[in-house]
Amino acid sequence: MLNLIALVQEPAVADAVGKGYVAIGAGLAGGLAVLGAGLGIGKIGGMAAEGMARQPENSARIQTAMIISAALIEGAALFVAVIALLMANKIKF
């Protein structure tokens, strides 16, 4: 509530509050990207291990699919982390 009042009253305060929101957003974006990638890769690894245990003759195919999927998830997380860093670097206090 106080932030909204500050936004209306003084432009310098509004600018500082806006920069703070950008910093919080950049941190949350990077953190959630890494968290999501970790959960996704963990689930892929667990399911691949289970699949290899159930069908050892298909281990090579399962492992190849697992590595490709993990690389795609990691690439998406890296993209979001780069965007978050670019957002954070735009802030000049």
Any domain includes 20: no
Mean pLDDT of 76-92: 84
Query: Mean pLDDT for the chain?
Result: 84
Q: Which amino acid is at 41?
A: I
Which band of pLDDT confidence, cut at 50, 70 and 90, is reported for residue 83?
confident
Q: Is residue 16 part of a domain?
A: no
> Using only C-alpha atoms, what is the Rg of the chain?
21
For the stretch 6-45, pLDDT in tens is: 555 555 655 667 778 888 888 888 899 899 999 999 999 9
What's the confidence (pLDDT) of residue 27?
Answer: 86
Domain count, the chain: 1
Q: What are the angstrom distances between the C-alpha of 17 and each of 29, 31, 78?
A: 18, 21, 28
Q: In CATH, what number is assigned to the domain containing residue 59?
A: 1.20.20.10
Domain that holds residue 71: 31-93
Place of tokens 């003759």: 57
